Amino acid sequence: MAPLQGVRVLDLSRLLPGPMCTWYLASLGAEVVRVEAPSGHDYTRSMPPLVQGRSLFFASVNRGKKSVALDVRKPEGRDAFLMLCATADVVVEGFKPGTLARQGLDPAGLVERFEKLIVASITGYGQTGPLADEPGHDLNYLGLVGVTAASLPDEHGVPPTPFPIADVAGGALTAALGIAAAVAGVARGGPGRWLDVSMTEGALAAFGPFLAMAQGEHRAHRPGQEMLTGGLGTYRAYRCADGRILCVGALEPKFWMRMRELAPELPSVPATHELVPVFASRDRDDWVALLTGCCVGPALGATEVSDHPHHVARGAFQDYLGMPLANAPFGWSPSHEVPRVGEHTEELLRPLGVDLEALVASGAGGLG
């Protein structure tokens, strides 16, 4: 049985952090119900590229969910949502602090009304503090915790961000872990609770060990020169003869010794400036084949990833409209189709006694 089988999650969030969090919960067996305005308030539904009119970005983190069309800003929509809350275990939202309270759905009030309910509020800076009401995005959160300054600048001197780390690790995964733990607590007889999930603090926790190293030595970060960011010749990426990139992760001496046995042309002292021309002398995949067992592998391009034999063998991708989409890393509940806005409104609300005709007539609901 899937660990979260029988757990119902109402997802009021949009964009990336909240939907990714609930996608993880769905892959663990939870029934996730997107609650979205009849007009479709999540503009990632139309984010390019589109395949047969459907967004691949949206599909990536919304497979396997249901959708109820409700405008909770209107009394009729709010009342129907509260009826759903009575059947739910978890509510996930990503609005600015105070937004739901102004709509009569204060998270603390929801937990008080439904004593076993878990409400997870995912925000940029948390519910309190001087930045609580400040708008922001992943780049802002990473800047605040030191990640951006510790990244290697590009040719214009601007540090890059490889992908939205604060959204994904700081927000989605932190929230999913907190929710799973809270569900376990309720199952053991504990109360519901309101989880204040700050994407900034989640990113700070992930970056904590690396921040501590620099602080302990009373120095700034050295972009591209730290132990795990390119400062060691045995732990960095190199461009090869075919222009592709090789990832050398021979952090422990035993791996470097093995590499030198297999490739005698490698210098005895693994200084970066000496290694660059050596790795540039062969194609990437030739190095990968030669240095098996040495923590050496390819830096795959976007068009190579889904075809890699390891990912194929593990079933890491799912076909969606002819395109490969990454699966969640849990095998209990596979992802399925992406719901249309309001596709499950009737299925979920009519059994609760909601007057669907009146709801739709008021503009607070839709039937998909």
Bridge partners of residue 67, in order along the sequence: 34
Maximum CA extent, the chain: 78
Contact present, 33 and 9 (Cβ < 8 Å): yes
Handedness of CA 72, 367, 2, 24 (dihedral sign): negative
Contact present, 105 and 163 (Cβ < 8 Å): no
> Residue 282: which residues within 8 A CB-CB, separation 6 or more?
240, 241, 290
Active-site positions read 137, 167
Q: What is the DSSP secondary-structure string of 160-190? A: P-SS-HIIIIIIIIHHHHHHHHHHHHHHTT-
d(CA 173, CA 24): 8
Handedness of CA 103, 106, 107, 110 (dihedral sign): negative
d(CA 110, CA 10): 13
Contact present, 297 and 245 (Cβ < 8 Å): no
d(CA 16, CA 114): 27
DSSP-derived 3-state class of residue 98? coil
d(CA 344, CA 334): 19
- Provide the H-helix boundaries in the chain: 17-27, 56-60, 75-85, 99-102, 107-113, 138-145, 165, 174-187, 199-216, 253-262, 272-279, 284-290, 309-314, 345-349, 356-361
